[in-house]
Amino acid sequence: MAAEGEYESILCVKPDVNVYRIPPRASNRSYRAADWKLENPDWSGRMRITAKGKVAFIKLEDKVSGELFAQAPVQEYPGISVETVSDSSRYFVLRIQDDNGRSAFIGVGFGDRGDAFDFNVALQDHFKWVKQETEFSKSAQLGDSGPKLDLGFKEGQTITLNIGQGKKRDKPRPQGSGGFGLLPPPPGGKIAPPPLSGSSNHNIVPQTDGMATGCLLELDTSNSNTVVQSNPSSDLWGDFSAPASENKK
């Protein structure tokens, strides 16, 4: 039966259901609705299917007052608590039970096939959930009984963490003879020589050992200008006439 403290949920409610007294089953053959007095039901009311824990309850109640007429506790489906008949899908056999534990079998029927279908599906869905819960509980018990992985530290065991120790090392730059960093030459290129200062067309001849003083300038053959050297013995300022006093002598 259901355990105390569990809440009761409603699975299905059908407002019209008929109840029949059925003759005892003489053999092992299934029940037949044709053997009942279908034209004269013994009771009419509503059906309410509830669940408390894993047990479902089929309750037959008065339509107006809601007074309980009978109820059938169902612990499995299909089973002895709910049986189908062989000649119709709208009729079932219920095993009802009172508070003293006495039980009896009655027949119930729905006027609409849709109500009978909903009644059948509500019980199937509930016990499908019961089966899943049972399998889950078994899996949990097997998991608890199996070996567990111990990830705790043993007595005296320690670990060392190096946090923030790794630093990026920069590559040393090549330095020249003066200690200053020089950029490397472009790949596949040559360094152009620095431009010469001055715009003169003359070539400077360096001083040689055989010369006493001064330097000689070699004229550029492409230059049309010619340097004319004057006679060192001639007067720099030109020829001047003698004073008049000397001429009188």
Write the pLDDT tens digit of every residue in 107-154. 999 999 999 999 999 999 999 999 999 888 888 777 656 566 677 777
Any alpha helices (H) in the chain, and if so which ranges? 113-145, 244-248
Two tokens, residue 85: 């008949």
**Selected residue with higher pLDDT from 181 and 208:** 181
| pLDDT tens for each residue of 45-89 | 999 999 999 999 999 999 999 999 999 999 999 899 999 999 999
**95 to 48, 59, 71, 213: CA distances (angstroms):** 15, 11, 8, 146
Residue 80 backbone dihedrals phi, psi, to 5 degrees: -75, -20
Contact, 76 vs 91, CB < 8 A? no
pLDDT of residue 21: 94
| Mean pLDDT for the stretch of residues 206-226 | 47
User: Can you name the residues that pair with 93 across neighbouring β-strands?
Assistant: 83, 107
CB 90 within 8 A of CB 81: no
pTM for this entry: 0.56
Pick the CATH number of 8-139 from 3.30.565.10, 2.30.29.30, 3.90.226.10, 3.40.50.300: 2.30.29.30
CA distance 108 to 41: 9
Q: Greater confidence, 233 or 22?
A: 22
Range in 14-23, 122-131, 158-167, 201-210 with the lowest mean pLDDT: 201-210
Exposure string for 77-96, b = 16+ CB within 10 A, e = fewer: beeebbbbbeeeebbbbbbb
User: Is the model more confident about 148 or about 247?
Assistant: 148
Per-residue pLDDT, 227: 45
Phi first, then psi, for residue 181 (nearest 5°) are: -75, 130
Q: Mean pLDDT of all residues in the chain? A: 76
- C-alpha to C-alpha distance for 193 and 212, rounded to whole angstroms: 34
Residue 181 pLDDT > 70? no
What's the pLDDT at 241? 53
Residue 69, phi then psi, degrees to nearest 5: -90, -45
> Rounded to the nearest 5°, which phi and psi values hold at 96?
-85, 160
pLDDT confidence of residue 216:
42
Domain boundaries, given as residue ranges, for the chain = 8-139
